[in-house]
């Protein structure tokens, strides 16, 4: 596809699969150039576009070397204490946490600290693009896991968007993210490093249902720069 820099495929880490938790590693990252430039609001006619393009090409090797895309999946059940209107007590869910690691964020921080704002801005957007691209690979692993469990997916929910942020900590705990992915979580339930994300998938016995992809039409983030043009803001 135009604009896609594909650098690898996803592999299940058999030695990291213990009990209910499955861990996957994308052997090398993937990113979408159009996504990167949308995130930095730099259209083709922008006077700074050429400078940004040069930075993008110059930084590609570092993205390939430093990004460490990984994901962990775990099935669980919603407890009465965690239950909310979208996830009633007793619901079976699949928790997913994914990350590209710390090194790209650290590099971005160093660029900004040294006042190299162009490289800092571009590498930060490249890191976001890698995380978004990882989601595509993880989606396929979710389908595989659900088929194995003879379950479908009724809805994909994002902590702090459709469900309380506290579900991010629950996803973190259920996937054993510290041990499996090498990431942490703050007292405010934010994943650390920042280039990490979590989702909760409401499972269903109806195997014909497989609502595993993000649905812009139900997302409350109406100002998102990547919101599909066909969806009203």
pLDDT digits (tens, 9 = 90+) for 134-144: 998 999 999 99
Q: pTM (2 decimals)?
A: 0.86
Q: Are 138 and 24 in contact (CB under 8 A)?
A: yes
115, with CB counted inside 10 A (0-12, 13-18, 19+), is exposed
Highest mean pLDDT among 9-23, 27-41, 109-123, 212-226: 109-123
The class (CATH top level) of 4-218 is alpha beta
pLDDT top residue among 81 and 229: 81
pLDDT tens by residue, 133-181 = 999 899 999 999 999 999 999 999 999 999 999 999 999 999 999 999 9
């Amino acid at each position: 596809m135009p604009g896609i820099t594909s650098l690898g495929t996803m592999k299940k880490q058999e030695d990291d699969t213990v009990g209910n938790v499955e861990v996957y590693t994308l052997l090398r990252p993937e990113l979408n150039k159009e996504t990167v430039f949308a995130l930095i609001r730099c259209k083709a006619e922008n006077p700074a576009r050429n400078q940004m393009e040069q930075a993008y090409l110059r930084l590609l090797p570092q993205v390939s070397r430093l990004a460490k895309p990984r994901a962990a999946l775990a099935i669980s059940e919603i407890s009465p204490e965690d239950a909310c209107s979208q996830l009633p007590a007793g619901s079976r869910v699949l928790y997913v946490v994914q990350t590209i690691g710390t090194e790209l964020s650290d590099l971005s921080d160093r660029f900004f600290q040294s006042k190299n704002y162009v490289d800092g801005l571009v590498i930060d957007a490249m890191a976001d693009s890698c995380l978004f691209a990882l989601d595509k690979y993880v989606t396929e692993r979710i389908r595989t896991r659900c088929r194995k469990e003879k379950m479908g997916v009724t809805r994909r929910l994002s902590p702090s968007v459709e469900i309380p942020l506290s579900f991010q900590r629950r996803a973190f705990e259920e996937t054993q993210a510290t041990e499996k992915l090498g990431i942490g979580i703050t007292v405010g339930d934010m994943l650390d490093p920042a280039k990490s994300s979590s989702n909760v998938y409401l499972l269903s016995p109806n195997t014909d249902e497989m609502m595993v992809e993000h649905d812009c039409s139900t997302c409350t983030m109406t100002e998102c720069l990547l919101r599909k043009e066909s969806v009203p803001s």
